[in-house]
Structure 1
Amino acid sequence: MKRDFERKLPLYMSGLIKTCAPSKNPFTDACRNKETIFIHVPKNAGRSIYRSVFNEPGRHIQLKRYYIYDRCRASRYYKFAVVRDPVDRFVSAFNGLKGSGIGNGEYDKFVNENIDHFQDVSDFVDWMALSKCNVNKVLGWLHFYPQYKWISVVGDEIAVDRVLKFEFLQDDWPSFAKERGFSEKLSFVGKGVANYQSLSDFQIKFIRRVYSKDCQLFSY
């Protein structure tokens, strides 16, 4: 569930990955047929878009993995993503995770050990603010991973062709989908509703500091 694969491997290891880890191939048949890469940033209507574009369930894969696996193909394909107000996304991620760990896997372990014992998202933010270690622990989990890192390949340079905003997706999607030849229907499966009223001004400012690069790059 953590992004170790994308974070640690350099781009020049493409040949080795194809030979030794073919299961890491991010290019599905639908992706190849449409010559399109959609980066599913968690909590940003990704499942709805995957259904609309590829008729597939959503997958959380950083853009860097596509370049690691096949740089030429990744460069050639059309690439897009959806971003969201970092505070809104943070609250939605916490609320979506809380109480969802019902098995014994890595996901369930993370939820049980790091989410469920907090009363609410306000309590969670207060714990994060206690130390840099706590912040890094949270940011290492895919639901809280900074958005720009999903759609950059080197540094913080955004490497997709189009960035849509979650807040305007319902209005912007039909024309965008028509332009790209996608289905204009979007179900917003799993759309979360964040509750800003549960956060103090200090907590909101703290989250924005943690995600300062997202706020800067995407004008939030």
Structure 2
Amino acid sequence: MPIDYKNEIIFIHIPRNAGTSILRSFEMNYIGHHNWDDYKRLNSYWMINKYKKFCVFRDPLKRFISSYNYASMEKSFWHPDIAGIHKDYDICKKLDINGIARLLERGVELWHESWIPQNYWIQGLDDILILKYENISQDIQKVYPNASLNYDNVSEELSHNITDYTKQFIKEFYKKDYEIWEKLLSSNGTKTKR
């Protein structure tokens, strides 16, 4: 669980939302993706109530594209060789992005957590600073003033012919994410109470 004990900060690492860059830039202890229930279960009541909590949210469609692009990479930051290839690599090489959306539509669970809606990671947590991925260089200053972010684990930018049907499915599948996203946009990029 990404925790900065020195600065009393808990980072909820939502997959494909600049988490690796944040972990490495601020030398946080522990890695991985853990939802809020995990933090509550494994940490002291005092810590989870006292520490500042933040996460990064991004446009759900752009995150879906990033998840697909990342899974399609033969080598990446966390999967540097064939032995460590991304678990969804083979399926993403067989299916285009619309095909992956059809799998999710049918209820197929893919291996990587990046397909899970962003709101899952922060369910039950009302007091959290949500940073906007698209403004992360500026927004991170609200957590770490005068800090700069190193960009790691970036996926290749590939273009895709995403059908209108897939776009509509993404809006429905990630409906709660879009609700949070719209609030972020209307609040100029950050919000603390959900």
- TM-score, structure 2 as length reference: 0.76
Q: Partner residue of 1:177?
A: 144
Distance 2:50 2:67 in 1: 32
1:146 maps to 117
Within 2, Cα distance between the matches of 1:27 and 1:199? Answer: 34
Q: Indicate the structure with greater strand content.
A: 2
Indicate whether 1:68 and 2:45 are aligned. no
Structure 1 runs of 4+ with >4 Å offset: 55-58, 193-197
Equivalent in the alignment of 1:17: none
Tell me the equivalent position of 2:94.
117
Max Rg structure: 1
Conservation of the 8 A alpha-carbon contact between 1:44 and 1:83: yes
Deviation of 1:51 after TM superposition, in Å, equals 2.0
Whole-angstrom distance in 2 between the partners of 1:78 and 1:215: 24
1:82 is the counterpart of 2:21: no
In the aligned structure 1, how far is the partner of 2:174 from the partner of 2:56?
16
Once the two structures are superposed, the pairs formed by residues 127-146 of structure 1 within 5 Å of their partners are 127-129=103-105, 131=106, 133-134=107-108, 137-138=109-110, 141-146=112-117
- How far did residue 62 of structure 1 move? 1.7
Superposition RMSD in Å: 2.8
SS in 1 for 2:83: coil
Q: Is the 8 A contact 1:40 1:46 kept in 2?
A: yes
CA distance in 2, matches of 1:95, 1:52: 23
- The amino acid of 2:16's aligned partner reads K
SS at match of 1:61: coil
| 1:162 counterpart letter in structure 2 | L
Instruction: Return the offset for 1:117.
Output: 2.0
CA contact (8 A) 1:38 1:80 kept: yes
TM-score by length of 1: 0.68
Partner of 2:94, secondary structure, is coil
Structure 2 counterpart of 1:189: 152
Find the counterpart in structure 2 of residue 218 from structure 1: 181
* Structure 1, unpaired ranges of 5+: 1-25
| 1:71 CA drift (Å) | 4.4
Deviation of 1:184 (Å): 1.3
Identity over aligned residues, as a percent? 24
How many residue pairs are counted as aligned between the two chains? 176
Q: Deviations over 1:117-170 (max 9, x none)?
A: 22x2133224444x2x33xx14x74111111111123xxxx4342000101212
Higher helix share: 1
The equivalent of 2:134 in structure 1 is 167
